[in-house]
A and B are shown apart, each in its own frame.
Chain A
Amino acid sequence: MNLRALGADLRAGATTSRALTLRALDAAEATTTGAFLTVDREGALAAADVADAGLAQGADHGPLHGVPVAVKDNLCTEGLQTTCGSRFLEGWIAPYDATVVAKLRAAGAVVVGKTNMDEFAMGSSNENSAYGPVRHPVDPTRVPGGSSGGSAVAVASGIVPLALGSDTGGSVRQPAALCGVVGLRPTYGRVSRSGLIAFASSLDQVGPVASDVAGAAALYDVIAGPDPLDSTASERPPAHALEAALAPGTEPLRVGLPTQYLDGLTSEARSVLDAALAVPGFEVVPVDLPHTEYAVATYYVLASAEASSNLARFDGIRYGNRVQAEGASLQDVYLDSRTAGFGPEVQRRIMLGTFALSAGFFEAYFGKADRARRAIAADFTAAFEDVDLIASLTSPTTAFPLGARTADPLAMYLSDIFTIPSALAGLPSISVPVGEDDAGLPWGLQLTAPAFAEAPLFAAAARVEASR
């Protein structure tokens, strides 16, 4: 199911938005993967009918017009439950649309439902949802990756051709890689975060998930752009990605392979990587990103610190599930609501973040991590003076079994070793499917470009896709 084919069918009259939407709704409700938390039959069909009427009158809003899409459950959708995969927000109806959701609607897309995710986007396996894990579409005993596991599975299972996820340290790219779909993390500030329930403010970005590069580019074009509601969103007008994806060209590209990312790769992983980069016109050269060793620690300190502050608003006072026993004091309400509402990973990261910010530890942890982050960004800037793109596997392994890493949080954190550095540097980064292992589990290739170079990034991704 790819976007272009659907678009062509809709315009040729071979199908209707209502038909596509019905199929998506049925599949969303029937799936045993756990991908969806909310399916909005009524709202989706109403939107589909509007889309069909529009097309009939020649009001064509573009490639997403009439197309069913799924939205990760940390994006506010007006009138629909928005949980962030957490008990705290169970039953919370968002009173407004996230900017990206409003843009989807304006483009004529049909939001069929909200996808499951690691709670508050904290996780790399979608096993941290309060509503049960998401399962891999190929092998249900395995994880789909996280935290946008639901969105990746919704696309990989063919329920919808497009979905929105969010990426903080790899949460769009890694599940896309594990599930065999395309996922982009845009340049920091390229897409508005207004209405994205924050995990780590200086790292979060909304990103498209699609079955192919062109689909991801079309979705990116709809969501990218300035927003006065988000002071960290760039005012630069975005370049047109779909155009670049559809006409990628053949010019030679220098692709850097960071030597630091090659340590510890299995030989199978290494040969997948080498084969993936055998693309006409790609010249692969080594690059040096010397501060890579600090990346995971830096990420977990900074992201947890920001998260510990961002999640303080979940106090049970104005919204969310308040736990107030008879005779409870105000402090009891805070303690009981938060303890009941947040799962163990969220609590762990809040603790880590609070620790990193607290008096006596701030300089050693937050201060150092802030420094390390800039050093990591400077590594990329230096590398991009020599190469056009930087490549790696998105994830060091294919999908791992459910429960395999849950006992050791640190082991789980190390799954993000390739996706974290570009997130810390704020750079656009895409994962493209590049084959499967013997068990049929997908591998993903990650390409990273300089800031705001999404158009050439999509072009390069299209070339990788075409070379398969």
Chain B
Amino acid sequence: MERLEILELVLNAIEMTNNMREEDQQIPRESTTELYGNNGHLDSMGLVAFLIDVEESLLDEDLQITLSDERAMSQSKSPFRNVDTLVCYIDMLVKELPL
């Protein structure tokens, strides 16, 4: 899966999240959108729900990837900071998958 496709998948997950949110709480569908942490649009449970949507979308592409494991949590900079860092993290995990 190419990086641009991963970006599209993550942006679609944002859209799914937005469907459940009020008009004034919509998350911008952009690569620079802050997700979690300072200025992030998601609280901890919101992040969980969002990551599950992303994981489910990856499963639709036959990619079995766990995003919120110890590896993600132990990164000095969280991969969930913004859309770009998340896409980067998923791209790395996809490349590590056995062919």
The finding on whether chains A and B are genuine partners in a shared complex, rather than unrelated, reads no
Q: Tell me the B residues contacting A by CB distance below 8 Å.
A: none
